[in-house]
A = this chain, B = another copy of it.
Amino acid sequence: MSSTPNERASSVEPVESTTGSGPVDGLRTTQALPADGIPRPPDVVRRLALLWDPPRPSGRGRKARHTLDDVVTAGIEVADADGLDALSMRKVAARLGVGAMSLYTYVPGRTELLDLMIDRVFAGLDLPRAGAPWRDGLTHYAREHWQLYLDHPWVLQTNMWRLPVTPHVLDAQEAGLRTIVDTGLSAAQVAEILNLVDAFVRGLARAAVAEATDGTASGSSTDEYWTSMSSFWVDHFDPERYPTMQRIWDQGGFDATTSPFDASIDRLLDAVETAIDRAAR
């Protein structure tokens, strides 16, 4: 029943900050009994293992044709090109010119591959330096995330309730918290405000991606999509039921002149500033 037989206790190697790049065996670890004797559910532990102590390739055995990084890169390429739904193990494997099952020597499963992909993408963020004025830093933080989501929309598609706990994701959080930790806010407020900013950026990015890819996803061209939608407006939309929408539409409220990000980020930071001023008082 237990899908992953193999008896090996958790090793005690030092944490390296570089992600390992070689394949290694025994990715699937079953219920290992660590020193403290507390059994850990394999799912969570396995997800963290590859991320936080990347295995070094052991010289023995057959040479690997690729590296872990290659696999992650291939995954990102597939997802960037065709979205998350198209990210199947078979497609990633095909891009590397190997069989589907070969991936499983580099990665325990699809979930973990996705974690690694996200970590990789977050590694590319240009994070605000410590010591900068909080408003500059936080703007920078928000804008970098915004750009990340536009570049890799599949990160928003992951159906996960929160980002995975990976080194570079935590790096980003760390940098975000750092921008406002010395402004006099309480610890709870700091955490809460960063949540607010994250929620804001993700929400807007989602909407922006929707705008950009509407219709394109489902095979129909953008033109086709919009003609269908306009047919909706004439066939189904009832101005008497939605007078306010009609009114705002007539006044050009839905024209989306500037980027929604630029339009709103200042307003959001005003709110943060208010909070900071109150705390200082």
Contacts and interface: CB of A to CB of B under 8 A. Distances in A.
8 contacts: A10-B234, A161-B209, A165-B232, A170-B241, A199-B199, A199-B202, A199-B204, A203-B203
Nearest to A205: B199
Given A38-B231, A162-B207, A199-B203, 19 more contacts: A6-B235, A14-B238, A14-B240, A40-B224, A41-B224, A41-B225, A44-B228, A45-B231, A48-B232, A162-B206, A167-B241, A171-B241, A174-B244, A181-B247, A192-B264, A196-B204, A199-B207, A202-B206, A270-B274
Interface of A: 6, 9-11, 14-15, 17, 34, 38, 40-41, 43-45, 48, 52-53, 84, 157, 159, 161-162, 165, 167, 170-171, 173-174, 177-178, 181, 186-193, 195-196, 198-200, 202-204, 206-207, 209-210, 213-215, 217-220, 224-225, 227-229, 231-232, 234-236, 238, 240-245, 247-248, 251-255, 257, 260, 263-264, 267-268, 270-272, 274-275
Nearest to A153: B161
